[in-house]
Chains A and B, each alone.
Chain A
Amino acid sequence: MNAPTPHTAHATRGKPIAFVSAEALRERVHEAINDDHLRSSFRGAMDFLMAKRAAQFPDESELVSLRSLSEAIRQYSLSKLPDLLEQLEANLTRNGVHVHWAETPDEANAIMLDIARRHQAKLIVKGKSMVSEEIEFNHAMEAAGIGALESDMGEYIVQLAGEKPSHIIMPAIHKTKEQIARLFAEKVPGVDYTDNVDALIQIGRQVLREKFEQAEIGLSGVNFAVAETGTLCLVENEGNGRMCTTVPKVHIAITGIEKVVEKLEHVAPLYSILTRSATGQAVSTYFNLISGPRKADEKDGPQEVHLVLLDNGRSQAYADEQLRKTLQCIRCGACMNHCPVYTRIGGHAYGTTYPGPIGKIVSPHMMGLEQTHLLPTLSTLCGACGEVCPVKIPIPELLVRLRGEAQSAPHPHPAMVGQGAGYRPLVSFVWRLWARIYAQPGAYRAFTWLASRFRALTPSRQSGWTVARTPLKPAPKRLRDMVRERV
């Protein structure tokens, strides 16, 4: 496996950077492309997920209607975002939930570390949360001597292997059952090698049940936060999300500020299109609606519930009408399942928490374009991601926009952090020159005449192009010459 080397988070502007550098992106992509094993396992998994999703939408008209409705709900929610966040905060507070706000990953980790210390927590059990990956929560807790244990089976496997999730929905999708069997035999005390999937799951169940019982704190993400009722909604199949939010005496939920919707009824269509788009399930096993801590007369549930609202660059995307559409995302992962690039290189090659098409449009806001300016180029612009997106995010358009932002000349007051990070004066000059030639018929004719006459001078090595292709060479005769000969 080409597992990336884990690193310790070092911060730029208070944000953790990618766990592998952007400069090494090309190298990682090449490595991934040449890994036949990785390619065949992703190909198989993506074909499986695409077929399962397709089977969930037999009625095209229902899909059209549900997608439009889901897009409308997300756009409506974003249009009222600051008001809805305040309403959410007021209602959660009324329900007895503590609400915290964090602009950066460091702030979010500090808030949660403070809660953990107040409860003298030794162990935090975690339900699946990509935002907690985004802020490198596990590292932050471990650095403070507090255990953070993943309890989603896929996340548990990935954590045991010292890796990162390679897919936002199916974190261990890059691993075969034989690899997991070896991992368990090696890392879980008293376990013999078995590649029987049921047996492996039962091993995970046994190990983690003990931890649910012991942990002082449970951490979870949030799929939808409902402003009108002050409710946190969680979607899951395994029951670990319920365990983490029910059994420990403290529950901390963390979410990006964009996940809020106004009305409870708005979650009905979003929940339906989320599970069908993500894993091709009509519904998940559990949909968990949490509106507060244990009440005086109740017998179980956490005694304290906290919500951490994280910005981390989302307000930057919010400031621009086109880029704001990025925040419509409900994190289903359908865009990566349908992406020809993701299918070939897998999730680790991107080097970001969120891989695939959504990762390419959201990461630049979280990490700045200095780190991520090459990401939007990892695309053929085939349009598959935009076509399957359940909330109709125009991902290809946004990729083109971000390529432009990355290449634009440096600006004294950039709208995006790292704007112009990919700017190269020579390349920019060549394109400007070409635009000028192309716009003037006389100059264009002269240029093509010269190009066809001096074609022998074209170099045989043409930077990235000739790595896997034959060199480009102008034709011996221009089109206009050939047309003239025919007339």
Chain B
Amino acid sequence: MSARDRILAKLRANAPQIPLPVPTPQLDAHYAARDRQESTLDRLARFRTGIESFHADVHVTLEESWPELLARLCAEKGVSSLLYGAATPAGQRLDAAAFAANGTALRPWAGQVEDIKADLFHKVDAGFTQARGAIAETGTLILWPSPAEPRTLSLVPPIHFVLLDAATIHPTFFDALRAENWAGGLPTNALLVSGPSKTADIQQTLAYGAHGPKELIVLVTTREGAAQ
């Protein structure tokens, strides 16, 4: 008998002790009470308040102007090398010349992580990814890394730029995974990200830039742009 069989047998032998079937948890009842009929912009405002409280920077812009804003922000932060996935819809919009004019070299991800590990850890200043969506309640980004946009892009470089469409913000995590039927198919790695990495492990003093990015910069696109 294997350890597996012995463990399962022990658990099964003792299962009937619980007399009544335990009721199925009622999640809808809990979350329905918090349903808000809010507009996209109200939801964006809640998301923004949340994630800014975790030290992320948020910039709201028009859909057509975010590449320009990203180039400007890279220049402001002194980013000399920006790593990104060139095959994504967002990646295709980036124009190397526009970035070069600001002193930033665009570097499309190429090869396996093993091929570029040293550069990834020591040379790249910033990574750029799209967000799949976000969560208003907590100020959280939803990232689904993919072959076109590997997971270390949002982890290893000291600055992480994220592009978010305001229309994809959900009220809660529960709403997001229900509405998009996450249980029907998850990527190998899905992530919720709320701010740059941090720790309070030394005397409960909060410090940013623990092991992941030191800065998280969110570019949110809306139909109304920065006016909102």
Contact = CB atoms under 8 A, between A and B. Distances in A.
Nearest to A272: B173
Nearest to B155: A242
Interface in A289-336: 289-295, 297-301, 309, 311, 315, 318-321, 324
25 contacts: A76-B22, A81-B11, A101-B2, A101-B7, A153-B210, A170-B201, A205-B211, A212-B121, A237-B197, A237-B210, A238-B197, A264-B183, A272-B173, A279-B200, A282-B50, A285-B196, A289-B190, A291-B190, A295-B188, A298-B150, A299-B111, A299-B147, A319-B14, A320-B17, A321-B17
A294 B210 CA distance: 25
A101 B12 contact: no
Identify the 8 closest CB pairs spanning chains A and B, nearest first: A239-B212, A154-B201, A300-B113, A239-B197, A238-B210, A319-B14, A287-B192, A101-B4
Contact of A283 (B12, B112, B194, B197): B194
Contact of B121 (A66, A180, A213, A268): A213
Interface in A216-270: 228-229, 231, 237-240, 242-243, 246-247, 257, 263-266, 268-269
A197 B205 contact: yes
A231 B11 contact: no
A200 B199 CA distance: 11
B30 A229 contact: no
A65 interface: yes
B177 A246 contact: no
Given A82-B8, A103-B3, A289-B190, A200 B211 contact: no
B202 A213 contact: no
A239 B155 contact: yes
Nearest to B214: A205
Contacts of A370: none
Contact of B177 (A268, A290, A298, A311): A268
B109 interface: yes
Nearest to A178: B203
Given A177-B203, A291-B187, A286 B193 contact: yes
Contacts of B21: 79
Size range of the chain A interface in the assembly: 35 or more
B3 A107 contact: yes
Contacts of B201: 152-154, 157, 170-172, 238
Contacts of A213: 117-118, 121
A319 to B, nearest CB: 4
A467 B201 CA distance: 37
Contacts of B54: 285
A301 B146 CA distance: 11
A140 interface: no
Given A285-B212, A288-B189, A315-B10, A102 B172 contact: no
A342 interface: no
Contacts of A319: 10, 13-14, 17
Given A79-B18, A153-B210, A103 B155 contact: no
Q: Count chain A CB atoms within 10 A of each CB in B30, B172, B187 and give the residue with the most.
A: B30
B25 interface: yes
Interface in B169-187: 172-174, 177-178, 182-183, 186-187
Given A103-B6, A285-B54, A300 B112 contact: yes
Interface string B51-72: 0001000000000000000000
Interface in B138-174: 138-140, 146-147, 150-152, 155-156, 172-174
B151 A291 contact: no
Given A247-B152, A298-B150, A209 B188 contact: no
B204 to A, nearest CB: 5
B209 interface: yes
Contacts of A154: 199, 201
B198 interface: yes
Contacts of B182: 229, 264
A481 interface: no
Given A76-B23, A297-B147, A300-B150, A153 B190 contact: no
Given A177-B205, A231-B186, A239-B197, A102 B3 contact: yes
Contacts of B172: 268
B3 A264 contact: no
Given A268-B174, A283-B194, A299 B113 contact: yes
A422 B118 CA distance: 58
Interface of A: 45, 48-49, 62, 65-66, 69, 72-73, 75-76, 78-79, 81-82, 85-86, 89, 95, 101-103, 107, 151-154, 157, 170-173, 175-177, 180, 197-198, 200-202, 204-205, 208-209, 212-213, 228-229, 231, 237-240, 242-243, 246-247, 257, 263-266, 268-269, 271-272, 279, 282-295, 297-301, 309, 311, 315, 318-321, 324
B68 to A, nearest CB: 28
Nearest to B6: A103
A155 B63 CA distance: 44
Contacts of A173: 204
A242 B212 contact: yes
Contacts of A204: 210
Contacts of B227: none
Contacts of B33: 62, 65
A308 to B, nearest CB: 10
A291 B197 contact: no
B194 A202 contact: no
B226 interface: no
B26 interface: yes
Nearest to B20: A79
Contacts of B24: 76
Contacts of A238: 197-199, 201, 210-212
Contacts of B196: 285
Contacts of B183: 228-229, 263-265
B101 interface: no
Nearest to A72: B25
Contact of A246 (B155, B186, B194, B204): B155
Q: Count chain A CB atoms within 10 A of each CB in B13, B112, B199 and give the residue with the most.
A: B199
